[in-house]
């Protein structure tokens, strides 16, 4: 297996296309491992990994943890609410404390964009960004593209629409970078208030009509409406980007009826957790068109691949 061109996985924007291909081919091997009766291999036996979650996450944390365990790494977990970090100990102090215990790699989820980049300037350990605010979530994008590749053979030339809250999503940006690097055509669809003004500079198409978007695409990646990110306080006032979940579900939600009325069969993806009945209905999420659970399964293989490849740098 080849090596990556980077020491850290800070974002897809810092990866070469060949890095993505390397991660995919490594993940193929680990997927095979995961189908064996004994799923554990000793590759990272000498490696200690700290999972630092400064923001709530269940799926990503479990997926990383499982990947680390399958590779026989030693793990320490740290969770903190972002507010306590803001008030007290700084990020660099927290991480230095953990590194003083001789940790080789850091997997970090953090609410501030660029936090992993800041960290990479101050510590020696390899860093994997598990989501930094609304910036990137590289392993999610990798597992999404990997799942598309698995289902329809390749990503290049395919049409993929990302639906929902583009503005407050860490999944969207990484997905755009990853899919574009792999040669896909990317469209964004959602209420205009949730689509950043200059997003088209990334070479994507913007469409406000969900039906037109679905008619166009091969794959629809439906984002979670991040209720917790939806409301902001500015000057003591709450900022709402759309009036109600009801209206969102009516005009941007993906339901069976809408999918059945299309000429094409669209593959449905969702990074989870799903707000059933809001951005996607249950009968869509659980349908044959959906590869949502494949995404979850592939997530472990992709994260094993990333950990393995970056750890290779440690052992050099």
Residues comprising the chain, all counted: 316
In angstroms, the CA 130 to CA 136 distance is 8
Name which of residues 227 to 246 contact another protein (CB under 8 A).
232-235, 237, 239
99 vs 112, beta carbon nearer another protein: 112
x-or-dash pattern for another protein, window 58-97, by CB under 8 A? ----------------------------x---xxx-----
Instruction: Identify which range of 16-24, 71-79, 183-191, 226-234 contacts another protein by CB under 8 A.
Output: 226-234
Instruction: Identify which range of 19-27, 106-114, 240-248, 284-292 contacts another protein by CB under 8 A.
Output: 106-114
Say whether residue 110 binds another protein (CB under 8 A).
Answer: yes
Q: In terms of DSSP bridges, do strands 232-234 and 237-239 run parallel, antiparallel, or are they unpaired?
A: antiparallel
Instruction: Identify which range of 127-135, 253-261, 277-285, 300-308 contacts another protein by CB under 8 A.
Output: 127-135
* C-beta neighbour count of 56 within 10 angstroms: 12
* C-beta neighbour count of 209 within 10 angstroms: 11
Say whether residue 162 binds another protein (CB under 8 A).
Answer: no
Is 316 within 8 Å of 80 (Cβ atoms)? no
At 29, is the secondary structure helix, strand, or coil?
helix
Say whether residue 117 binds another protein (CB under 8 A).
Answer: yes
- 181 exposure class (CB count in 10 Å sphere: 0-12, 13-18, 19+): buried
In angstroms, the CA 27 to CA 16 distance is 17
Say whether residue 114 binds another protein (CB under 8 A).
Answer: yes
Give the up-direction half-sphere exposure of residue 70: CA atoms within 13 A in the CB hemisphere.
Answer: 26
- Candidates 13, 29, 61, 313; binder of another protein (CB under 8 A) is 13
Tell me how far apart the terminal alpha carbons of the chain are, to the nearest angstrom: 14
Q: How far is the CB of 55 from another protein (least distance, A)?
A: 12
Q: How far is the CB of 178 from another protein (least distance, A)?
A: 14
Q: Which residues bind another protein (CB under 8 A)?
A: 11, 13, 86, 90-92, 110-115, 117-118, 132-136, 167, 170, 173, 196-199, 201-202, 232-235, 237, 239
């Amino acid at each position: 297996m080849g090596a990556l061109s980077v020491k850290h996985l800070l974002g897809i924007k810092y990866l070469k296309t060949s890095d993505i291909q390397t991660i995919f081919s490594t993940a193929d091997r680990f997927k095979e491992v995961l189908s064996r009766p004994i799923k554990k291999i000793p590759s990272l036996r000498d490696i200690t990994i700290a999972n630092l979650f400064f923001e709530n996450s269940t799926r990503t944390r479990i997926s990383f943890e499982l990947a680390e365990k399958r590779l026989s790494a030693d793990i320490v977990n740290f969770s903190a609410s972002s507010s306590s970090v803001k008030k007290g100990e700084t990020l660099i102090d927290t991480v230095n404390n953990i590194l003083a215990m001789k940790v080789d790699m850091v997997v970090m989820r953090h609410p501030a964009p660029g936090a992993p980049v800041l960290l990479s300037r101050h510590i020696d350990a390899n860093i994997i960004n598990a989501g930094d605010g609304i910036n990137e979530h590289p392993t999610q994008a990798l597992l999404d593209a990997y799942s598309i590749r698995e289902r329809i053979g390749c990503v290049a030339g395919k049409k993929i629409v990302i639906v929902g809250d583009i503005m407050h999503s860490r999944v969207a940006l990484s997905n755009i970078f990853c899919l574009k690097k792999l040669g896909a055509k990317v469209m964004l669809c959602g209420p205009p208030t949730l689509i950043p003004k200059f997003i088209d500079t990334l070479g994507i198409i913007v469409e406000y009509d969900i039906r037109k978007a679905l008619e166009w695409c091969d794959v629809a990646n439906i984002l979670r409406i991040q209720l917790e990110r939806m409301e902001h306080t500015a000057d003591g006032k709450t900022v709402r980007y759309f009036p109600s979940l009801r209206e969102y579900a009516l005009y941007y939600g993906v339901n069976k009826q809408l999918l059945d009325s299309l000429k094409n069969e669209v593959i449905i993806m969702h990074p989870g957790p799903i707000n059933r009945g809001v951005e996607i209905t249950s009968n869509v999420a659980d349908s044959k068109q959906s590869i949502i659970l494949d995404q979850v399964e592939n997530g472990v293989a992709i994260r094993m691949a990333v950990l393995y490849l970056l750890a290779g740098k440690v052992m050099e």
